[in-house]
Amino acid sequence: MCGIVGYVGPQQAEGVVIEGLRRMEYRGYDSAGVALVHDGEIAWDKRAGKLANLDKSLGDQPLPKATTGLGHTRWATHGAPNDVNAHPHLGATGRVALVHNGIIENFAPLRAELERAGHELRSETDTEIAAHLVEAAVTEGHSLTEAMRQVCRRLDGAFTLVAIDAHDPDRVVAARRNSPLVVGVGEGENFVASDVAAFIEHTRDALELGQDQVVTITREGVEVVDFDGNPAEGKPYHVDWDLSAAEKGGYDWFMRKEIHEQPNAIADSMLGRHDEQGALQLDELRISEDELRGVDKIIIVGCGTAFYAGLVAKYAIEHWTRIPCEVELSHEFRYRDPILTRDTLVVAISQSGETADTLMAIRHAREQRAKVLAICNTNGSTIPRESDAVIYTHAGPEIGVASTKGFMTQLVACYLLGLYLAQVRGTRWGDEIAAVVRELEQMPGHVQSLLDRGDEVLALAENLADARSVLFLGRHAGFPVALEGALKLKELAYIHAEGFAAGELKHGPIALVEKDVPVFCIVPPQGRDFLHDKMVSGIQEVRARGARTIVLAEEGDDDVAPYADVMVRLPKVPTLLQPMVAVVPLQLFACELATRMGHDVDQPRNLAKSVTVE
């Protein structure tokens, strides 16, 4: 998720823009840039790394004074984080500067069209094609507003675009589709930004924009049109958040904000990865189909939550591809002298891409000539750089130490990998793969429905605030969810919590169960009845010993209701995909309980967001 600021008014634009970007540093980014309109030209600078790098460059080579400009902090999706890929991007003649947040799904055909027309594209980004297209339109004589509107109609995907035109110093033009953009309305000055934190020190009067709208700001005012050119209105509101709340989008914690970002994160992680027929296209995979057809074993490595995502992936990948799939803790993997050959595919799951244990594991795998594929949320980080191939999750920066949308999008990436392998190896028919893709496309809505009903779970946190130990039970793909639910409680509420495979209870753990011990039970969908009935038996076992059962079961599953002290309903989804919905109530519960206990939910004690030591 990038940070964007646009400004027009009496102040020096560079200062306003840079300060606005600084207010959004919390979002996480890997490069930054600024562009100004000065004396019929665009003056710009952009640098990989933190704002300090840009500040130094601007200090060494100051830009001219200007009162119209834009700025950007980039969270890389397409193209490594470096000076060339940093935003802003300019059109062919440098007349238009443009910045972007989101993913332009159809950038490849548009890039080809521009190159056929003689355009020289200097970066690896999807953004640059938009800069060239907008500049081509203004060069034909269209206003910047009209040019933006015409270009937006050609783009697929999720995007916020902001542009300036060297020949039109009095305006900044922006547009949005499925990506944040807000207008700050000042006195004789106006702002556009990806969130209000960028301008609330100047004005707290804002305009909320609708889908598929183009906004033009000048000193005198704000004009909005839709992508068809019809006049539209932004919805005025007053920002009463303080800066800290503004950085979290009004939520109390980054973690809670990130839990609520999951529907968009899932949708973004699906963007551009399948065609209308549901056939998959993982263009950044960089392992040939022949090599993938030769894979005879998969070993998934990861730590913590990433490891649990790998455990879920095992069920799906083995079912769809019939390839043996092992899942290992990274820090155990290389010390157990694993059997690796050129036909082994090692899949390294890591949100940060910097976890030392996982990095060491893939180095060992590559020394043994195995192929390595990274599933990672951080473009250009060490693990994908040292892998043969990568599937980037598009969750956006995850600030909270406890992983939520990172886990959710790791699941999406693992499912896409399994389906792609099945497609390439022919172990699943196209219609079977397309059916699963359609189910994945429904997931943002399913997760949103759980978030909308989150109050049920929040109330549960109040009732269980005094618990000293909590157990989590699951079967099949629900077992890793039980482990993840327990980890969230451990790392946030500092409560002893343990996840079990429900079938394991009678082999010892049931001795832990006594009166009122809270036990979360994740019940498989009824579609797989032998699993479902076994899970019901496990719930009866713990209930018979006095446990307080919190049962997560799909809508309409009444068989399990008699054994539930608390029932949390899940949307009906296929068994292999149920982890995506079952984990949400557990995330909300852990976040709420830790909040009620007065803990720092975003920075839990003893923990770091990325464990870069072994």
Give catalytic residue positions: 2, 609
Taking alpha carbons only, the member of 399, 450, 447 closest to residue 601 is 399
Given the complex with ligand AGP, which of 304 and 579 has the nearer CB atom?
Answer: 304
CB closer to ligand AGP out of 163 and 383: 383
Phi, psi of 548 (to 5 degrees): -100, 110
Any contact of residue 499 with ligand AGP (CB under 6 A)? no
- 58 binds ligand AGP, rule: CB under 6 A: no
Least separation in angstroms between residue 448's CB and ligand AGP is 22
Between 73 and 350, name the residue whose CB sits nearer to ligand AGP: 350
Candidates 68, 351, 393, 423: give the one binding ligand AGP (CB under 6 A). 351
Q: Which of 415, 380, 314, 529 is nearest to 77 (CA)?
A: 380
Shorter beta-carbon distance to ligand AGP: residue 269 or 350: 350
Per-residue contact string for residues 255-294; x = within reach of ligand AGP by CB under 6 A: ----------------------------------------
Query: Which residues 6+ apart lie within 8 Å of 485 measured at CB?
Result: 472, 497, 499, 520, 522, 583, 586, 589, 590
Residue from 269, 305, 379, 409 binding ligand AGP (CB under 6 A): 305
Does 482 bind ligand AGP (CB under 6 A)? Our answer is: no
Q: Does 303 bind ligand AGP (CB under 6 A)?
A: yes
Please identify the residue of the shown chain whose CB is closest to the bound ligand AGP. Answer: 304
> Looking at beta carbons only, is 354 or 559 nearer to ligand AGP?
354
Phi, psi (5° rounding) for residue 573?
-140, 165
Residue from 101, 179, 355, 409 binding ligand AGP (CB under 6 A): 355
Span from 59-67, 200-208, 348-356, 367-375 in contact with ligand AGP (CB under 6 A): 348-356
Report the distance separating Cα 547 and Cα 223, nearest Å. Answer: 61
Q: Please select the residue that binds ligand AGP; options are 402, 470, 523, 551, rule is CB under 6 A.
A: 402
What's phi and psi for 271, nearest 5 deg? -60, 130
With contacts defined by CB under 6 A, name the span among 69-77, 100-108, 385-393, 396-404 that binds ligand AGP. Answer: 396-404
> Does residue 166 contact residue 10 with C-beta atoms inside 8 Å?
no
Candidate list 82, 178, 427, 610; residue touching ligand AGP; CB under 6 A: 610
Q: Closest approach of Cβ 585 to ligand AGP, in Å?
A: 16
Phi and psi angles of residue 388, each rounded to the nearest 5 degrees, phi first: -75, -30
How far apart are alpha carbons 611 and 382 in whole angstroms?
13
Binding residues for ligand AGP, total number by CB under 6 A = 15
Counting contacts by CB under 6 A, is residue 182 touching ligand AGP? no
One residue of 352, 387, 549, 587 binding ligand AGP per CB under 6 A: 352
Q: Are 391 and 592 in contact (CB under 8 A)?
A: no
What is d(CA 126, CA 106) in angstroms, rounded to the nearest whole number?
A: 9
Q: Could you give the CA distance from residue 438 to residue 435 in angstroms, rounded to a whole number? A: 5
Query: Taking CB under 6 A as the rule, does residue 583 contact ligand AGP?
Result: no
C-beta of 307: minimal distance to ligand AGP in Å? 8
Residue selected from 321, 403, 409, 575 as contacting ligand AGP according to rule CB under 6 A: 403
187: buried, middle or exposed (CB in 10 Å: 19+, 13-18, 0-12)? exposed
Question: Exposed, middle or buried: residue 104 (CB in 10 Å: 0-12, 13-18, 19+)?
Answer: buried
- The answer to whether residues 164 and 97 touch, using CB atoms and an 8 Å cutoff, is yes
- Of the candidate spans 7-15, 216-224, 291-299, 300-308, the one that interacts with ligand AGP by CB under 6 A turns out to be 300-308
Contact 8, 67 (CB under 8 A): yes
Distance separating alpha carbons of residues 129 and 90, to the nearest angstrom: 9
What's the min distance (Å) between Cβ of 126 and ligand AGP?
25
- Enumerate helices (H) and strands (E) in the chain, giving the number of each: 19, 25
Beta carbon of residue 468, minimum distance to ligand AGP (angstroms, whole number)? 22
Residue with tokens 């994908």: 384
Annotate 259-283 with DSSP letters as a single string: HHTHHHHHHHHHTTSB-TT--B--T
Among 31, 145, 264, 358, which residue sits at the site for ligand AGP (rule: CB under 6 A)?
Answer: 358
Contacts with ligand AGP by CB under 6 A lie at 303-306, 350-352, 355, 358, 401-403, 491, 610-611
